[in-house]
Structure 1
Amino acid sequence: MSRFATGVTVLTVGGEHVHAMTANAFTSVSLDPPSVLCSVGHGAVMHSALSSAGRFAVNILGAEQEGLARHFADKKRTLGAAQFQGVDWSAGEHTGAPLLAGAVAWLECTLTDSHVFADHTLFIGTVLAAGQGDDADGLLFVNGRFGRAESPRPAAH
C-alpha cells in the first residue's frame, strides 16, 4: 500500500479535548449526502477524541505544509491545546474544530457512523460545511515520502 499515492490531511476535534492527527486514510464516501470516511487506529489519541466529540474537521494540506503534517504525526509532541502553539488556525463555525490556515480545503463534519474493523475504526462523517483556500498544489504521501500534487493549470489559448 505504500505505493498508493494519497493526499495528506490533518483531522481535528475541538472543545474540551482539542486534538489533531495527520491522516492519509481518508476518502469521499457520498455526494448525497456529502460524506467522508477516515480510518483511525484504536490506540490513537484521536480515536477517543473523535468518538467523544462527535464532530470533527478535515484539513486537506497543501504542498507547502509538510511541516504541519510531520508535526501532527509526531507521537512525542505535547498534546492538548499546546500542540497548536505556533500554528495558525481558527475554530470552525459548526464544529469548533481547528481549521488550519493555508490548507487547500477544509471540511467540517458531524460523526454519523463508525465501523470497527481489526485494529482501526472507520469513522463516517456527514459534511456540514466546506471551503477552500488558495489554488495551491496538494501534499501527497507515497512510498514513505512526501511529494507534490500539482493543481491542473488552465490551458493557454
Structure 2
Amino acid sequence: MEDRQFRNAMGKFATGVTVITTEVDGNGVHGMTANAFMSVSLNPKLVVISIGEKAKILSKIKESNQFTINILAADQKEISMIFAGQLKEHREIVFDRLDGQPVIPGSIVQIACEVSGEHIEGDHTLFIGKVTDIHIEDGEPLVFYSGRYRSLKEEEQVML
C-alpha cells in the first residue's frame, strides 16, 4: 500500500488535538502539535505520546526527561497551527506552569509527565509518561478529522 493511502486511512479516525511541550534548562520551551496521544494505565497513571524521528522536540524530550500534553479547546485552532508550523509569522506564547512544567493556558486539559519509558518503533519514538499532575477546564475540544479541523455537534436526544 502507498504511504498516502495509509495516511488517508489513519485520518479517518477523529481525534482531539494536543500540543506537546517540554523545557530544557536554559534553552526555553519547545512544543509541537500532535494527535498521537493516548492513556495507557490508571494505576499507575500513564500516558503515551508518539514523536517522529525528524521532529525537533524528540531530542528535547530525551534531554529533559519530561513533557506536558495540552488538549486544546475548540477556540485554540491558531495555537495548534503555530505549533504545527503552519503559521509563519512569529507569535509570542505565554505559558502557565503545572508541576513546574510549561502548559498552554486555556487548554481543556493539561497533563504534566515524567518519562518512564521510551520505545523506538518504526520511524517514531513512543514515550510513556508517568502523570505527575493534571488540570482540567470546562469546554469543547478542538477536533481533527480527515485533514481538517472540526467541531463537535451535540446530537439531539430522541425519546422512545
* TM-score for the superposition, normalised by structure 2: 0.83
2:92 to 74, 82, 86: 86
Cα distance in 2 for partners of 1:76, 1:44 equals: 17
The answer on whether the counterparts of 1:136 and 1:151 sit within 8 Å (CA) in structure 2 is no
The answer on whether the counterparts of 2:24 and 2:60 sit within 8 Å (CA) in structure 1 is no
Aligned residue in 2 for 1:144: 147
Aligned residue in 2 for 1:35: 46
Please identify, of 39-48 and 15-24, the stretch whose mean Cα deviation from structure 2 is larger. 15-24
The answer on whether the counterparts of 2:18 and 2:72 sit within 8 Å (CA) in structure 1 is yes
Q: Does 1:23 align with 2:34?
A: yes
Structure 1 unaligned regions, length at least 5: 153-157
Query: Which of the two has higher C-alpha Rg?
Result: 2
Tell me which amino acid in the other structure corresponds to 1:98: P
Percent identical: 37
Q: Does 1:128 align with 2:132?
A: yes
Q: Once the two structures are superposed, what CA deviation does each residue of 1:120-149 show, in whole Å capped at 9, x if it has no partner?
A: 00110000000112x111011110001123
Offset at 1:41?
0.4
Cα distance in 1 for partners of 2:42, 2:103 equals: 22
* TM-score for the superposition, normalised by structure 1: 0.84
2:82 to 46, 71, 81: 71
Are residues 136 and 150 of structure 1, via their aligned partners in 2, closer, same or farther at CA, if it must alter by over 3 Å?
A: farther
Partner SS state of residue 29, structure 1: strand
Once superposed, what is the RMSD of the aligned Cα atoms? Answer: 2.0
Structure 2 unaligned regions, length at least 5: 1-9, 156-160
Offset at 1:117?
0.6
Aligned residue in 1 for 2:7: none
Q: How many residues align?
A: 144
